[in-house]
Structure 1
Amino acid sequence: MAGSRGSSEARLPAFIAIFLAFFCTGNCTAQVPLLMWSTDGLPPLASSAAGHITSVDQLAAYLTVAFSSGPHTVLLFLQDKLSKDDFTVFGGVFGNKQDSAFQNLEATLQSSSSSVTLPALEWSGSSAIPALLQEKLGVSPLLVDADTLSHLSINTSISNLLLINLPYCTGLPTSCKEVLHENDKVIGNVLSVMKAKNVPYTAIYTGLQPSRVISETSVSDQSVGRSLLQAVLPDVKPPIMFNVSGNPCIMLWAQNLSVSLSGTSPWIDLAEQTPSLTGSMCNTSNSRLVLSYPSGFTLSFAMSQRFYRVSARNWFTLDTVQLQVSNLTASFIGSRGIYAPAEYSFHCQSVSSFQDALLVPNNTNQNTSQWRLNFIDFQIQGFGLANGTNFSYASDCAGFFTPGIWMGLLTSLLMLLIFVYGLHMIMQLNTMDRFDDPKGPSISVPQSE
């Protein structure tokens, strides 16, 4: 069971938020929400975990405590159908109270001295709630409406069960909201009559049956834990790794390793195939990763590292990339920015030979100009694999000052110069220190003929 009791500020400033926090965690049964508030006060109700479904027996035990002392007048607003989704769809869940179909109900719960909310009450039949209240109060329900109630004399020395039936929509969502809004007006009118009569009461708003029955697929036959996460998350292919004596030496990963013979030939994604690493090698100064694919293509990545005195550290560079198929060999030089500190990996979102090319065709090879390479989300490391099966920190090819940043900086500088120039001009304005005397002789200018 879940409920709340306290001051109006801390209890339910917007009771609909409670329904957003409760969702079914297992195989859902039919449920109806139940709202309960009283002018006399209600016993506290211990809160429970989100998603808990309150059973009829638990509700019966709570009503036994709530109605244990003295006679009670109970108003039962029984709607034909009701689900917690009605509150989330047609209530003011986004703070727009004017658009809520439950304005009177929300205001009543907010101002009530005591209230209880059961977002998910187990539904066991249309007559379960009326029969339960009839059993706890020891009286039969009396069907009334706002007009009848205004002329009804209520004897507070005995228990009373007043039943107010409310309809539910059967058409479009717009008509549903209108029907719920009219029901909310009925609730407001009934409560106004009870307030005018100065009769203490306990009100309950629920449904004869749920308007929506939520069903969830059982997961009892599925494995849990890591296997469940693996079933939900998409598979991510592991990086290509070349080991020497069981130690990782070269790592490469790419979302796509696409090659094309010319501008009109279709792209072939080699990353979808599993390569052989025969011919790969690595040592402290040079590394070579050879990827031989079943389709007949062979990609080779040659890397080297050396010490640079200016930076006082070792750097590695991707020197060449070779593509071989049949008797053709195409060679590309990684002479534009494919480098990183020796203990880092190199990463680039796009490494291509034709657009913003980082791979420059080797003019000494006649076949190179016929081929195009395009590597997407490319990352490679040929030295300093100290993290085992993980890449080291990546040095990205993207520069810090992108064209967009430069445009923004230059535009801001231009606007600043205009502002400074305008401010300087305003500060140079001076008022006249001498004025003409209107009472003195006018200035005459002789005219010559």
Structure 2
Amino acid sequence: MDVQSRMPSRITFLLYSILILLHKGSAQLGTPALFWSPEKSMSHLPEVNGVDPVNSDLLEKEYLKPLMQHAGESAVVFLKDKLHVDDFTKFADVYSLDSNGGAFKNIKHFMDENFSLEIPQVEDPLKAVEGLKLSFAGAVHSADSLAAVEKLNLGPDQKFLLIVELQPSSDLSEEQAIASNDASVGEICHHLQKRGISYTAMFTGKSASENQAEEVETFSGRHLLAEADSNNGTFMNADGAYLFLRDVQVHIAQKGKDPINLNLTVESSSADKSLVDNSTALIQFDFNDGSENGTGSYQVKIVFNTTRNGDRWTINQIRLTVDGIAEAGPNGTLSDSPLRTDDLDLVVPILYSYHCSSMKMYVDYIRNKGLVNYAGSYVVLNGLQMQPFNVQKGAFFNAQDCVGFFTRGIWMGIFSSLILLAILFFGVMMVLNLSTPDRFDDPKGKTITIAQAED
């Protein structure tokens, strides 16, 4: 065995503890996955970014299959009902340099003594395990205790996948349940070692612990002098994306005609035509009851094109379609027209939702000259919140607000402070430049005598 390749495993749990401390209180949405193997190095596996969650397909293709389908080597998967990265912070005694692992002492021992790897966040690891079961080239066994494992016909010459369903928390406290499961992991691993079986093990949870779910925070950040945002609105689940919207206002300015003002009603089905996959999301809002003072009939469609890019997601384009209005001219149409958002930041961390108390967007006639007849038209989305990716636990996660770093209120405070500081600076400089008179005699000093020439 290569001694140098094994050395990092000696400090792996300490590094994992540091990782937990760094991310304590941050947006952790997935469940951790821990691997160890006495025979196989894990340096060839993809590098893990603790901020970006690993989805189930990537876990299966890039980690499980390369580790657990090695010829002549078996695999063991320990599945806990619920597991969160904060469980290690709370129950692994990570704040002590001489810690033995706390409630995770057996798992710590195996990771210290073998090649090991930690993935802080995995989306739906159970799906990846089910995929491994279907593709595993060997016997597949299930067990829930050491007694059940002892009854299985397992040997060093047999290649198998053993899935161990650890006991749920039931009436025990979370720490007691973890310690009990950790003891089961230790007993089963020691039993397999006694049989001389070479294996790779994984310890993970079916889902993230519910008690670790954080409440939604839709705050205005540095929005000075902002009005309080109302929680009254409509929630929508659009093909897996979570959306919230209070109301919509559309102002259509037509050259040579009176403007049209529409107040649109948001319903739970308004975003049913949205399409979402792992890398892109097309969020479409449809409003079919648009009218002005009870007259006219207008159909309004607003489409957000979003893309997932590694550790962030971006709103690439927003487009507006309004049916039911007469064209203002030969080049005028509001069909799939682009909207501009001025200085709004439309790049959001991948674990966050996007929130905007009042999102005002103008028809972009500057880049699209065909929309010049509709110059001044705009759309206002009130109480908008959206999270197209990484939705878990049935709720939005922390929100990034659309308000920029510097608002008008902040600039007012900064300029006022600068003016006062400037006045103070010049006042102090003027005082420092004062000098005492030096053209008069000092009564306590020697008399100054000036000789005068006689005529």
TM-score scaled by structure 2? Answer: 0.46
Q: Which has the larger radius of gyration?
A: 1
TM-score scaled by structure 1? Answer: 0.47
